[in-house]
Amino acid sequence: MRVGNHKIPSRGDQVEQRQSGIRRIGYVWYSDQLQVLVKWRDGKSSSLRIGRDQFSIRTAADEDSRSLNESPETHRRAQLAWTGSP
């Protein structure tokens, strides 16, 4: 779905936000035409406003390059944060 020039991510999509030189990656928990609720890999969550906050929806190619740079343990911890189960 799109709002103006902005694509709205779906639940489960991975998003990336870069702010002041810091990159954070998370999963979409909820989205509508106004906001996107994201569960970040560090365990925190926040709401991003469509059209105000800058973020990108990560693609499969982004995921492949991330997998090459992160250990399996890092990936497992990210999945645990997302699902909430061991």
Where are the chain's structural domains?
Answer: 2-83
pLDDT score at 19: 87
Query: Residue 59 — φ and ψ, nearest 5°?
Result: -100, 175
- How many CA atoms, within 13 angstroms, populate the side-chain half-sphere of residue 34? 0
Residue 22 and residue 30: Cα distance in Å, rounded? 23
User: 29 near 15, Cβ under 8 Å?
Assistant: no
69 pLDDT more than 70: no
Rounded average pLDDT over 13-28: 93
CATH code 2.30.30 for 2-83: yes
pLDDT mean across residues, the chain = 79
In eight-state DSSP terms, residue 41 is T
pLDDT score at 7: 85
Beta bridge partners of 79: none
